Amino acid sequence: MLIVTSNEIPGHRIDAVFGEVMGLTVRSRDIGSQMLAGFRSLGGGELPEMTKALYESRQEVMARMVNEAQQRGANAIVAMRFDTSEMGTNWTEVCAYGTAVYVLPLGEGEPGATGQSIYLTKTAAQQSSQQGQPTPPAPPAPPTQF
């Protein structure tokens, strides 16, 4: 699954939009980690217990968002963002959200193609020819705007 924070993916054409997808979790901090972090905060610096908890939360919500996008038939997520907020004194909400889309890499000679997209289209063509399958036709070029 390709996930980007931009609204477009260079070298790819968005072929279908499936709508917003998200992953959400609400976590409570355990008293031990909270007390240890409180003592560490007196001296300043990073709070590794809290960093680990936030990292794990972000990984969890990303996985949930990707799962929802895959269920809809998407192969990419654009405009991905994280959002966090405090709920009460010990709860933290972490949310990842974006727009689920189906993208096609642009082939050589297509306007907007990149080295990566050309490589992807050539690799896909080679894999289908090795499997004895006919090479799928190249997607039509987008209409030229004047």
- Tens place of pLDDT for every residue, the chain, 146 residues? 999 999 999 999 999 999 999 999 988 765 555 555 555 566 666 777 778 888 999 999 999 999 999 999 999 999 999 998 887 777 889 999 999 999 999 999 999 999 999 999 999 888 888 876 555 555 555 454 54
Provide Rg for the chain, Cα atoms: 21
pLDDT on residue 33: 56
How far apart (Å, rounded) are the C-alpha atoms in residues 109 and 113?
Answer: 7
Residue 106 in contact with residue 12, Cβ under 8 Å? Answer: yes
pLDDT on residue 17: 97
